[in-house]
Amino acid sequence: HSGWKFGWGRFSEVDLFTDRHESNAETLSQAIRAAASEEPDADGSVLFGQLKGTVVGLRYYSGVVNQGEMVGLVRQPQNPYDRNAVMVANIYGNQVGHIKKELAAAMAYIMDNNLAKVEGVVYSGTKNTYTMPVMLSFWGKEESKNSVLEHMSRRGYKLNTEGGKLKGTPCTILKNAFDNLFEGLMESKDGEKEAASVATPLLLHQKQALSWMCARENKAALPPFWEKRGELYYNTLTCFSAKELPERVRGGILADDMGLGKTLTVIALILTNFHKGKPLPVEKCVSRSVLQSFQAICFMSNLCSLITKCVFTCVQVEKVSPIKAKMTSQMALTLEEGSVLFEDLDFAAALSGSTSDTGSKKKKTDKKSSLTQSAESSIAESTDDLKARTTLIICPLSVLSNWLDQFEQHVDPNVKLNVYLYYGPERNRSKKFLSSQDVVITTYNVLSSDFGNKSPLHGISWLRVVLDEGHIIRNPNAQMSKAVLDLKAQRRWILSGTPIQNSVRDLWMLVAFLGLKPFDTREWWNRVIQRPVTQGDRAGLQHLQTLVKYITLRRTKNSEVNGRPLVSLPEKKVYVEQVELSQPEREEYELARTEGKNTIGRYVRTEGTVLRNYADVLAILMRLRQHCCHPDLLAKISSDLGAAATPAELRERLIEKLRLVLASGSDEECSVCLDSVRLPVITHCAHVYCRPCIAQVISTSGQEVARCPLCRSEIKTSELVEFPQEEMEEENSTKSERWRTSSKVQALMGNLLRLRSKDSSIKCLVVSQFTRFLTILETPLREHGFSFVRLDGTMTQKKRTQVIQEFQSSAADSPTIMLLSLKAGGVGLNLTAASHVFLMDPAWNPATEEQCIDRCHRLGQKRKVVVTKFIVKDSVEENMVKIQRKKQDLMEKAFGSTNTDRKTSRIDDIVALMEL
């Protein structure tokens, strides 16, 4: 009997984070994680009350707690002695004891049914070997409060509901503080480091980043909130203390603005910081013939006489190929130090944990293969730490080619770095092969599709994992995120130009990936950081700031080092070119404008109907904007806006509206998630949302009927209309009509021809929100013999990459013009070959235009950048520009506005546009 008990005891005693007992550790950590993840969010939870309880059985477990330390409570429904058991664990997941059974019996029901989340604090420390008191706090949804209180009191436990209220702080102040979270993270992070084997000289701020990253990987500084107290390490937030140095976070978030060269910095890091600050040992890259003669010598010769023979060979080679003189002398030098073909001394030294100096001395006397020896020493000291060689880079497909280019471009050509692209159906899944590479690059999609399917990537112990565009994995429930969290790595990096977009919640995934204990467990994150912050607790925000500061380096384009801007880009000039419409164009335009003005005016005068008819309003504006570009852009207009006679007709009209809204280039945002719409659907009241968003609104409305968040009309899931698939491809069908020109087309062509005659090497981006306009432009470009490519959202990734490569090429016959759809390709697109940008039509959102311009006005741009915006005189376009200016001002003044603010400002925009 007692043997069984002991076994069970040990079973629950495992350490959550060291995996000492692997299978058991998983069971317990899974239990804690599962318990923590079931709760939807700390947001919106209220404190029901508190209760003093007893933790018993302390003497059976090794987990210790300090006075004031937080403890976790985990249900153990499988406990053979009591199915109501509630386990108590400290922050490291070490079991401390159990909740006394009567209390556990009362709590079990509440915990199992998710009526409340129970948290414990040991307020009085351990005075007694057997039991200790614990303060339990019950948190949950307001609607569960009474049933929880009642349930507990029926069992004789009265929750103290006094004094638990948190003092609220004005939210606005905190909101601003949160916005500033990522500001000023450059302080005291100076120090520069030169990169090894990188052909491109690093800029000052990149050297600083490299130095910071190396320090983050090498130095054993205490993580935030830890301090040394005597012989122990003490966490000031959780009051947990430990004998061992808390595991440091080897890595962090590099959140520099895009264009500051994060990719280059990471490449430099890979080459510069292998083990113990030594560079990655890489094969010297020599011409094939040299390599072959070397190999021949190496195989044939007795290793003892190797050095002289190799040097001899080098001299011979030098005669044959004088250009390589520098390289061969470098090789001879290497050989004198006793290495064989590979510069493996550093590697061997790193493996054995000794420095490279002593390593090479040793090799001088002992001429046996250094490789064999290094293998032996690595086994002797088999801490897995030193075996890992490979850096795994995970990125979105869209920037994959960029990584490959950058490796090609920046790695010293005399050095052979093994970079493997783990992508495509033919990818090499051999773990042995992959872990012998220096760098493996893959995409989030490949990673998550491999995940759970005996993924080789998850079976390798990586030296380093780098998440590019790391904000992609902000949703912890996504398959991708789970796949990322399951990777084994010594060092972890997140690259992101936009670290927090929405809230504290997004940060958790990043913290969890970095393994910043104990916050990688959701429960502790919620308790210590997220809830305090969302409830307006200043200390909580302070803690969050400390935490973020510890792991993040962020500089913006406007940051300065020693009073100088980080990067000096070539000058950029923006011109507005007014376009006059021709007489017939003007007449058509005025006709449409009068009609539209009347319609919208009606909506504005009738209080509250603008939002209701939002899609119509956008459609009208859209038509006017199309008139400004080219008459053929106008879609076959489907009648006016009266009530539809049949359901089929209604559906047809809704689809038409949806099409117009989506095609309007207004970068429509979903009013539920405030992000760009994904999987767009339109309601019968003609408002566009993401399907999942609006479906959630409907299912959680709690009322008998769900209402549209924008206009309060009744909505039903069955009445949501999607964009039919066939419609998507129909776009190209209007092609066959006879081509005609327009004033704007003329204006563009004039510019292009003038530029070409001045300097035929200049490349241009021609940007429009209307892909059909781009199609129209193809005709005159072809006519005038321009070589051009086209990039829009409909193209496959493969095609995009190809087009970008073509355009970026400096070959004489490479295309000089790129037709670019405004929204095509995310940030990070590199089009520095172009130095002139023509914006054919103004965008609603000036930031979109800026982003587009930044694709060529960024690091790597050698020429002055000239931007020309075509604006039709006396038109809706002019008003749009005015609104843009106003928006820019507003943006700069107050950051972050509410949803209603945005919508009202949209209405104001519309009124201003139509000059009502």
Partner DNA sequence: ACCGCCGGGTGCC
**Closest approach of DNA to the CB of residue 524, in Å:** 23
Point out which span in 97-105, 252-260, 363-371, 769-777 binds DNA (CB under 7 A). 97-105
Tokens of 133: 């008191």
**Residue 721 — φ and ψ, nearest 5°?**
-110, 130
Report CA torsion sign: 626, 736, 584, 653. Answer: negative
Which residues within the stretch 669-688 sit at the binding site for DNA (CB under 7 A)?
Answer: none
Q: Which of residues 86 and 592 has its CB atom nearest to DNA in the complex?
A: 86
Q: Which of residues 79 and 334 has its CB atom nearest to DNA in the complex?
A: 79
536 near 42, Cβ under 8 Å? Answer: no
Q: How far apart are CA 556 and CA 153, in angstroms?
A: 56
**Closest approach of DNA to the CB of residue 132, in Å:** 11
| Candidate residues 85, 386, 509, 880; the one interacting with DNA per rule CB under 7 A | 85
Q: How far apart are CA 841 and CA 626, in angstroms?
A: 9
261 near 403, Cβ under 8 Å? Answer: no
Q: How far apart are CA 493 and CA 491, in angstroms?
A: 7
| Candidate residues 37, 40, 52, 81; the one interacting with DNA per rule CB under 7 A | 81
Q: Which of residues 131 and 402 has its CB atom nearest to DNA in the complex?
A: 131
**Cis amide prior to 518 (ω within 30 degrees):** yes
Q: Tell me if 9 contacts DNA by CB under 7 A.
A: yes
Q: Which of residues 84 and 771 has its CB atom nearest to DNA in the complex?
A: 84
* Structural element, H or E, at residue 147: helix 145-154
Point out which span in 52-60, 397-405, 561-569, 877-885 binds DNA (CB under 7 A). 52-60
Q: Tell me if 78 contacts DNA by CB under 7 A.
A: no
Q: Which residues are bridge partners to 160 per DSSP? A: 50
Q: How far apart are CA 653 and CA 640, in angstroms?
A: 10
Q: Which of residues 98 and 527 has its CB atom nearest to DNA in the complex?
A: 98
Q: How far apart are CA 588 and CA 493, in angstroms?
A: 56
Q: Tell me if 622 contacts DNA by CB under 7 A.
A: no
Q: Which residues are bridge partners to 477 per DSSP? A: none
**Could you give the strand order of the β-sheet that contains 836-839, starting from the edge strand earlier in sequence?**
572-579, 865-872, 836-839, 764-768, 817-821, 788-791
Q: How far apart are CA 691 and CA 111, in angstroms?
A: 33
| Candidate residues 45, 84, 137, 197; the one interacting with DNA per rule CB under 7 A | 84
Q: How far apart are CA 29 and CA 485, in angstroms?
A: 14
Q: Which residue type is seen at 243?
A: K
**Closest approach of DNA to the CB of residue 53, in Å:** 11
Q: How far apart are CA 497 and CA 797, in angstroms?
A: 21
Q: Tell me if 11 contacts DNA by CB under 7 A.
A: no
Q: Tell me if 5 contacts DNA by CB under 7 A.
A: yes
Q: Which of residues 9 and 631 has its CB atom nearest to DNA in the complex?
A: 9
Q: Tell me if 157 contacts DNA by CB under 7 A.
A: no
**Closest approach of DNA to the CB of residue 60, in Å:** 4
DSSP label at 666?
A: S
| Candidate residues 26, 39, 82, 632; the one interacting with DNA per rule CB under 7 A | 82
Q: Which of residues 54 and 373 has its CB atom nearest to DNA in the complex?
A: 54
CA angle, 261 then 266 then 272, to 5°: 125
603 near 911, Cβ under 8 Å? Answer: no
Q: Which of residues 76 and 521 has its CB atom nearest to DNA in the complex?
A: 76
Point out which span in 2-10, 246-254, 269-277, 532-540 binds DNA (CB under 7 A). 2-10
Packing angle of the helix pair 262-272, 397-410 (nearest 10 deg): 60
Q: How far apart are CA 14 and CA 558, in angstroms?
A: 49
**Closest approach of DNA to the CB of residue 97, in Å:** 5
* Structural element, H or E, at residue 836: strand 836-839
| Candidate residues 93, 97, 665, 680; the one interacting with DNA per rule CB under 7 A | 97
Q: Which of residues 128 and 355 has its CB atom nearest to DNA in the complex?
A: 128
Q: How far apart are CA 600 and CA 610, in angstroms?
A: 8
Q: Tell me if 53 contacts DNA by CB under 7 A.
A: no
**Closest approach of DNA to the CB of residue 249, in Å:** 34
Tokens of 403: 């990584």
Rg (CA), the chain: 32
Q: How far apart are CA 374 and CA 275, in angstroms?
A: 14
Report CA torsion sign: 360, 365, 369, 374. Answer: negative
| Candidate residues 24, 27, 29, 79; the one interacting with DNA per rule CB under 7 A | 79
Q: Tell me if 164 contacts DNA by CB under 7 A.
A: no
Q: How many residues bind DNA (CB under 7 A)?
A: 20
| Candidate residues 11, 21, 26, 57; the one interacting with DNA per rule CB under 7 A | 57
**What's the 3-state SS for 267-285?**
HHHHHHCCCCCCCCCCEEC
Residue labelled with tokens 């090498």: 218
Which residues within the stretch 378-437 sit at the binding site for DNA (CB under 7 A)?
Answer: none
Point out which span in 4-12, 117-125, 492-500, 733-741 binds DNA (CB under 7 A). 4-12
Tokens of 646: 């049949």
Q: Which of residues 73 and 440 has its CB atom nearest to DNA in the complex?
A: 73
**Closest approach of DNA to the CB of residue 86, in Å:** 7
**Closest approach of DNA to the CB of residue 6, in Å:** 8
Point out which span in 56-64, 321-329, 512-520, 553-561 binds DNA (CB under 7 A). 56-64
Which residues within the stretch 455-514 sit at the binding site for DNA (CB under 7 A)?
Answer: none
Q: Which of residues 8 and 420 has its CB atom nearest to DNA in the complex?
A: 8
**Closest approach of DNA to the CB of residue 48, in Å:** 22
Tokens of 731: 């776009």
Comparing C-alpha atoms, which of 863, 784, 850, 862 is closest to residue 817?
784
Comparing C-alpha atoms, which of 785, 855, 869 is closest to residue 820?
855
**Closest approach of DNA to the CB of residue 98, in Å:** 4
Point out which span in 42-50, 79-87, 320-328, 408-416 binds DNA (CB under 7 A). 79-87
Q: Tell me if 100 contacts DNA by CB under 7 A.
A: yes
**Closest approach of DNA to the CB of residue 167, in Å:** 36
DSSP label at 676?
A: B
Point out which span in 54-62, 556-564, 780-788, 859-867 binds DNA (CB under 7 A). 54-62
Q: Which of residues 104 and 752 has its CB atom nearest to DNA in the complex?
A: 104
The distance of Cα 797 from the centroid of its chain, to the nearest Å, equals 19
**Closest approach of DNA to the CB of residue 8, in Å:** 7
Taking every pair of C-alpha atoms in the chain, what is the biggest distance, in angstroms?
A: 100
Q: Which of residues 102 and 337 has its CB atom nearest to DNA in the complex?
A: 102
745 near 776, Cβ under 8 Å? Answer: yes
| Candidate residues 21, 33, 101, 248; the one interacting with DNA per rule CB under 7 A | 101
Q: Tell me if 104 contacts DNA by CB under 7 A.
A: yes
Cβ burial of 219 (10 Å; 0-12, 13-18, 19+) is exposed
Point out which span in 95-103, 710-718, 762-770, 797-805 binds DNA (CB under 7 A). 95-103
Which residues within the stretch 110-149 sit at the binding site for DNA (CB under 7 A)?
Answer: 128, 130-131
Specify the 3-state DSSP secondary structure of 367: coil
Q: Tell me if 75 contacts DNA by CB under 7 A.
A: no
Q: Which of residues 11 and 423 has its CB atom nearest to DNA in the complex?
A: 11
Point out which span in 77-85, 116-124, 447-455, 664-672 binds DNA (CB under 7 A). 77-85
829 near 784, Cβ under 8 Å? Answer: no
| Candidate residues 17, 60, 770, 786; the one interacting with DNA per rule CB under 7 A | 60
**Closest approach of DNA to the CB of residue 130, in Å:** 4
Give residues in contact with DNA (CB under 7 A).
Answer: 5, 8-9, 56-57, 60, 79, 81-82, 84-85, 97-101, 104, 128, 130-131
